[in-house]
Amino acid sequence: MYICLCNGVSDKKIRQAVRQFSPQSFQQLRKFIPVGNQCGKCIRATRDIMQDELRQLPEFKDIA
C-alpha cells in the first residue's frame, strides 16, 4: 500500500529501509527514503510503520 503518494513510497519500501538501516528517528529514515518532505500527510503512518518494524528486529544480544 502506498503511504507517501507524493513520492510513491510504499509500506514495503519503508519496512525494507528500517530492516536494512535500523534508523533511530524519523529524520534518519528520511535520509534513506524520500518520505514526508512535501505535503506531510504520510508522516504519522510512516512513524507507526517504523516503530512496528523496529520492535520486530532482534536485539544484538539475542543474535549472539
Domain map (residue ranges) of the chain: 2-56
- The Cα 30–Cα 60 span in angstroms is 24
Q: What is the dihedral of CA 19, 30, 11, 59, to 10 degrees?
A: 20
C-beta atoms surrounding 33 within 10 Å: 20
**Total-model pTM:** 0.85
- Biggest CA pair distance of the chain: 42
User: Could you report the per-residue pLDDT of 8-54, keeping only the tens digit for each?
Assistant: 999 999 999 999 999 999 999 999 999 999 999 999 999 999 999 99
Hey, what CATH topology would domain 2-56 get?
A: Arc Repressor Mutant, subunit A (1.10.10)
Residue 1: what pLDDT?
95
- The Cα 36–Cα 44 span in angstroms is 9
Contact 5, 45 (CB under 8 A): no
